[in-house]
Amino acid sequence: MKKTIRSFTPRWVLSAYHYLRAFAAAGWYKFPSRGMVVIGVTGTKGKTTAANFLWAVLQAGGKQTGLISTALIRVGDKQMLNPYHMTMPGPFELQKFLRLMVNEGCTHCVIETTSEGLAQWRHIGIWYDVAVFTNLTREHIEAHGSFEAYRAAKGKLFKALTAHPRKIIDGEPIGRMTLINKDAADRDFFLSFPADKVATFGIVEQGADYVAASIKSTKDGVSFRVKEAEYHLNIAGEFNVQNALPAVALGEMLGFPTACIAEGLAFLKLIPGRMEEIEEGQSFKVIVDYAHEKVSMEAALTAGRALAGKRGRVIVLLGAEGGGRDKEKRPLMGELAGKLADFVIVSNVDPYDDDPMQIIEDIAQAAEAAGKERDKTLFCIEDRQEGIRKALSLGEKGDVVLITGKGAEQSMIIKGKSIAWDDRLVVREELREMTANGPHAR
């Protein structure tokens, strides 16, 4: 019904509706963001991890901080999984959490700010002070019509910095800052927005203000160096170094000691559904990750290969969303899985009203073209729980099993209906049954 109504409603009417609703929500909750320093994080990938690292460093620096992200909603030390199947909740839910944060004494808040949320004006009534850009790839273009429109939607966050009067909190004027990934191809677009302080970060680009060097994977995470300071992440995947750099940059810009920044980065041992290891006594590693497009899939598979070493194998379960989401990414992910994994299982993610098997075939055919053989190294299993069961059954000592596509999402949408779902719980259930039966127990 909603989809039908939207199809007959002029775009300007829908835009006005979203704008007025966001403004009404901010007014209803008495504009809570005016009393906090608000950091917005936008980009195609890495937003959730970057936002959590920012939260952790701010907390370590003595700033009571709230967080709204795809995986988690935090109010200081309290946390809950995001139940909304969307990164930025609707405006009334968003403003309600901001009001709760203010009431609980938060002085800072980190908001993972999406292009869809920006296009629907959910940021209206939120007074941002810091804007962080992680990267931009060709994801979510179907929702915006073109890559240029997608980039322009991201730019609304940076415009929002100067859309409100300068805040004064506890007698101190709050400066406007931007933190930009200088490795990203679209960096100049985001660097063009005015701010009191502008800083860049990167790994490849040596001209950045904050450059990560000496990156090394360890048995319990990743170590790296910025300038003369040594840092360690207790989360796997060298790609996460880039996600940690905005927190390093912001910490330094706020005058935090290096030891404080290091403490914040090391504090995070788990971001739900982001390279989250599941341990139930099995003889192989199992990791649940949100990877759901080409770049994040390559990063997850590369990290999995590093963890497996020379003798271990990589087994990946993947899928793609329906509901009009980008179809072009399906064969790209399938090709990557076919090349970088030893076994590929293609299954449901969120088919919405689309034909699940068509989505699966779009991925499987590319994996097949990359060298995988059906029913030997490539399996198409529509039911996600059965797909997870198959992936785990292939695991042997020293292997790495990657369950990708949903991370810590709390629901799955099939034929227009939302069902309760959590990959991590399903994986634990299947592992417990397997280890109870003996063949994969240590």
CATH number at residue 405: 3.90.190.20
- CA nearest to 78, candidates 67, 62, 90, 93: 67
What are phi and psi for residue 317, nearest 5 degrees? -105, 130
pLDDT digits (tens, 9 = 90+) for 78-132: 999 888 878 889 999 999 999 999 999 999 999 999 988 998 999 999 999 999 9
pLDDT digits (tens, 9 = 90+) for 281-304: 999 999 999 998 888 899 999 999
pLDDT digits (tens, 9 = 90+) for 208-232: 999 999 999 887 889 999 999 999 9
Rounded to 5°, angle at Cα 205 from 201 and 211? 40
Question: 297 Cβ partners below 8 Å, 6+ apart?
Answer: 291, 318, 333, 336, 337, 404
pLDDT at 7: 58
In a domain, 67, yes or no: yes
Decide if pLDDT at 276 tops 70: yes
Asked if 270 and 303 count as a contact pair (C-beta separation under 8 A), the reply is: no
Could you give the CA distance from residue 113 to residue 86 in angstroms, rounded to a whole number?
A: 11
The amino acid that residue 392 corresponds to is: L
In a domain, 98, yes or no: yes
Same domain, 262 and 285: no
Decide if pLDDT at 412 tops 60: yes
pLDDT at 440: 47
pLDDT at 44: 86
Same domain, 223 and 314: no
Same domain, 260 and 307: no
In a domain, 442, yes or no: no
- Specify the pairing of strand 276-277 against strand 378-380: unpaired
Q: Which domain holds residue 211?
A: 2-267
In a domain, 319, yes or no: yes
Q: What residues are paired with 343 via a beta bridge?
A: 315
Could you give the CA distance from residue 181 to residue 202 in angstroms, rounded to a whole number?
A: 6
Same domain, 226 and 350: no
Same domain, 224 and 171: yes
pLDDT at 146: 81
pLDDT digits (tens, 9 = 90+) for 149-186: 889 999 999 999 999 999 998 888 999 999 999 999 99
Q: What is the mean pLDDT of residues 333-347?
A: 97
Question: 274 Cβ partners below 8 Å, 6+ apart?
Answer: 48, 49, 71, 235, 289, 290, 407, 408
Same domain, 364 and 228: no
pLDDT at 143: 61
pLDDT at 231: 97
Q: Name the domain boundary from 236, 267, 298.
A: 267
pLDDT at 2: 52
Specify burial of residue 279 (Cβ count, 10 A radius: 0-12, 13-18, 19+): exposed
Could you give the CA distance from residue 33 to residue 10 in angstroms, rounded to a whole number?
A: 31
Same domain, 10 and 104: yes
Same domain, 257 and 290: no
In a domain, 356, yes or no: yes
- Specify the pairing of strand 108-112 against strand 78-81: unpaired
Q: What is the mean pLDDT of residues 232-251?
A: 94
Q: How many domains, in total, are found in the chain?
A: 2
Q: What residues are paired with 277 via a beta bridge?
A: 287
Q: Name the domain boundary from 235, 267, 299.
A: 267
Q: Which residue has the higher pLDDT, 24 or 142?
A: 24
pLDDT digits (tens, 9 = 90+) for 187-200: 999 999 999 999 99
Same domain, 262 and 324: no
pLDDT at 142: 61
- Specify the pairing of strand 65-68 against strand 72-75: antiparallel
In a domain, 380, yes or no: yes
The DSSP letter of residue 166 is P
Same domain, 163 and 45: yes
pLDDT at 3: 53
Could you give the CA distance from residue 221 to residue 215 in angstroms, rounded to a whole number?
A: 11
Q: What is the mean pLDDT of residues 319-324?
A: 86
Q: What is the mean pLDDT of residues 35-55?
A: 94
What percentage of the chain carries pLDDT values higher than 70?
95
User: Per-residue confidence at 442, pLDDT binned at 50, 70, 90?
Assistant: very low
Could you give the CA distance from residue 48 to residue 41 in angstroms, rounded to a whole number?
A: 8
- As a residue count, the chain comes to 442
Same domain, 106 and 249: yes
Q: The CATH number of the domain where 219 resides is what?
A: 3.40.1190.10
Q: Name the domain boundary from 267, 293, 327.
A: 267
Asked if 265 and 248 count as a contact pair (C-beta separation under 8 A), the reply is: yes
Q: Give the lowest-confidence range in 138-142, 280-284, 418-422.
A: 138-142
Radius of gyration for the alpha carbons in the chain, expressed in angstroms and rounded: 22
Helix segments in 271-369, DSSP class H: 294-308, 329-340, 356-369
Same domain, 427 and 386: yes
What does pLDDT average to over the chain? 91
What are phi and psi for residue 214, nearest 5 degrees? 50, 45
Beta strands in 171-324 (DSSP E): 172-173, 177-181, 197-202, 210-218, 221-226, 229-233, 276-277, 285-289, 314-318
